[in-house]
Structure 1
Amino acid sequence: MFPPMLRSLLRKYPFRSTPTLLRFLHHPIPKPPDESTAAATVSYLISSCGLSLSAALSAAKKFHLKSTANPDAVLALLKGHGFTKPQIANLVSKHPAILAAGPEKTIKPKLEFFAGIGYTGADLGKLISSDPNLLLNSLEKRIVRNFYLLKTQLGSPAAVIAAIAGSSRLLRYNLSTMMLPNLQTLRDHGVPALKIVMLVTRYPRVLMKKPDRFTETVKLLKEMGLKPTLTKFVLAINVMLGLTTATWERKLAVYRSLGWSEKETLMAFTRHPYCMLSSDKKIRKVMEFIVKKMKCEPAFVAARPKLLCLSLEKRTIPRCSVFSILESKGVVSRKRGVHSFLLISEKDFLEKYVIKYGEEIPEVLEAYQGKLEFAGLQASALGSRTISLKFWLCQRATSNI
């Protein structure tokens, strides 16, 4: 005779549920560990695995120590393959059930495989601790198969390892339904093989997007005028697929509020896709400085969107301060364009402006070091804190040794 509660359930679900309920009777939910077992688990996680008390308490909810034999064997394997103590602690904290996995059948073959393809010591520990599921996925059916599939697509083990560094999920997911269709889309639209390898090795997560969305993005970028043969095309794919629709619309609204038309915004994106990744706050600060302080039109920045990705405090303001000083001395002219100051390499800027004019116009050095606030000041009012250019260059050279 069934208990009253069970009879009630059987009346409610008379047919399909009965076998399930009977199986439940034969396989009751396991009881939680007693206090002594829980205490022993926490103690082991702290003393043997290096977890903090809070991390051990959290991990003990998912792993119950019955015997130290298996966990000890797992830890010995990890240490033997060069895992550091912090890496082991991180691994166990993320996935404590790894201590219950079979050392010889489950853990060891995978560690040996990764060591064989070039992962050793701390590098192997970094890979596994960042993605513990690599030790639990099927070696032959998933990991090995995906590795050699990637090698076929990319051409070398080094390229595969670079891609895995960007997303270890490449070894765990079904690439036939996710990545391979997207790679074929790139080929169909004329993206060169080298650019495809660049995308896979630098931005592998993008290729894990749903094929329909990936294809739509590639077509849209071509409609914007981006040529698939250019590096910017690959960068634009990464940016566009990395942004949600809401974020994209918000960026358009930010630029619109700063005086850009939608045409100018899309033009800026095609010229330097990463302008859509700058924070809203940074975009506003850079635009305010260049438009208000440097007296440039918003369209000036739209035509040179890379300016939005430069550090305002470390590059833009100091260089504009140097420009202002040299302009006031008649050394440079706005006809050359402020952007020529901002976009050249650090080495060229140092040689052409700081070293060249530093002795003659000492304020240039202070402006370059960021010691002078840019406010359109005349150079004649800036001579109170100059230092020797030769002394500064000597200090700079010494600090770079």
Structure 2
Amino acid sequence: MASPNPKPQLLVSDPDKSLLPKLHFFYSKGASNPDVVKIIASCPVILKRSLENQIIPSFNFFKDFFQSEEMTMATVKRFSRVLIVNPHICVESNINALQESGVPKSNIAALLSLQPRAFMVRPNHFREILEEVKKMGFDPSKTRFPTAVQAMTGMSKSTWERKIDAYKRWGWSEEDIWLAFTKSPWCMIYSEDKIMATMDFFVNKMGRESSLIANRPFLIGLSLEKRIIPRYSVVQVLLSKGLIDKDISLVVLFESTEKMFLEKFVNGYKEEAPQLLNLYQEKVNLSG
């Protein structure tokens, strides 16, 4: 039996013919050394594909759609497998399906650039998802429509069901879940760990009803470390001094801009609680 070759095929092939032209191509499109390393590491087979017959035609397909080499390279860096598939099989068909549904090109481009793998779904299945999203009441002209499509194409049925179960553990009904999804499709894109940790904080730490979060699902996507915990540390001080009501709106607390929060809850109580700014900044700095 022949012993296995310890050298990968790429290393024993002629680098001047198979490797360097591809590296030069990526550099010519604005990729940095770290970018090229990332592209190849995430999809090593790209170096085995023909530059002239596969990589360049695929790159040009995306460039023609985006009308931007910069956006095309950003897409390649996010999901370099777009350069090893024939874009006319799935990607083009799925772009056409979105356009036929009335999705603006700018929204299609945003989805394609940020989540190119969503377009790798079989065209028939992709169209089924579009019809399902329409039946849920999503307006194709709004940005939530492609986000809902992203959510439904980006995970397996079992993963989808696990996230449904995660919300049910917090007392959400099927109706609550679908209401939350129609308001913010991102609530089904977040990881199970993210869902559980954020719900735990609002329900067990803050003592809020989980149904309140179903009505404001955007809250689930906020960073615990960078926004929720630092702001809640300020709230705890204000509550301990009786300066605010314990049932203060979560929207006001967490969805307001940084400037609005500081003006209302920190600078507004300088005399009563002068330590608030330092406390808040300390918590924010701890989040990294």
Smaller-chain TM-score bracket:
0.7 to 0.9
Q: CA deviation at 1:117?
A: 2.4
Q: CA deviation at 1:156?
A: 1.5
AA aligned opposite 1:348 = M
- 330, 338, 341: which one pairs with 2:250? 338
Q: CA deviation at 1:258?
A: 1.7
What stretches of structure 2 of length at least 5 have no aligned partner?
none
Identity %: 38
* Equivalent residue number for residue 191 of structure 1: 103
Instruction: Write the mapping of 1:216-295 to structure 2, written as runs, cut at 5 A.
Output: 216-295=128-207
| DSSP-derived class of the 1:191 partner | coil
Asked if 1:143 corresponds to 2:55, the answer is: yes
* Equivalent residue number for residue 101 of structure 1: 13
* Equivalent residue number for residue 280 of structure 2: 368
Report if aligned partners of 2:133, 2:145 keep a CA contact under 8 Å in 1: yes
Report if aligned partners of 2:90, 2:123 keep a CA contact under 8 Å in 1: yes
Asked if 1:163 corresponds to 2:72, the answer is: no
- Give the TM-score normalised by the residue count of structure 1: 0.64
Distance 1:351 1:138, change over 3 A: same
Q: State how many pairs are aligned.
A: 285
- Give the TM-score normalised by the residue count of structure 2: 0.86
Larger of the two Rg values belongs to structure: 1
Report if aligned partners of 2:35, 2:77 keep a CA contact under 8 Å in 1: no
Q: CA deviation at 1:280?
A: 3.5
Q: CA deviation at 1:202?
A: 0.6
- 84, 94, 97: which one pairs with 1:182? 94
Q: CA deviation at 1:329?
A: 4.4
Report if aligned partners of 1:235, 1:273 keep a CA contact under 8 Å in 2: yes
RMSD value over aligned CA atoms? Answer: 2.7
Distance 1:284 1:146, change over 3 A: closer
- Which protein has greater RCO, CA pairs closer than 8 Å, 6+ apart? 2
Report if aligned partners of 1:179, 1:208 keep a CA contact under 8 Å in 2: yes
Q: CA deviation at 1:358?
A: 3.7
Q: CA deviation at 1:294?
A: 3.5
Q: CA deviation at 1:172?
A: 0.9
Distance 1:201 1:280, change over 3 A: closer
* Equivalent residue number for residue 70 of structure 1: none
Q: CA deviation at 1:327?
A: 4.4
Q: CA deviation at 1:200?
A: 1.1
CA distance in structure 2 between the partners assigned to 1:112 and 1:280 by the alignment:
41
CA distance in structure 1 between the partners assigned to 2:184 and 2:135 by the alignment:
16
* Equivalent residue number for residue 17 of structure 1: none
Q: CA deviation at 1:343?
A: 1.3
| DSSP-derived class of the 1:190 partner | coil
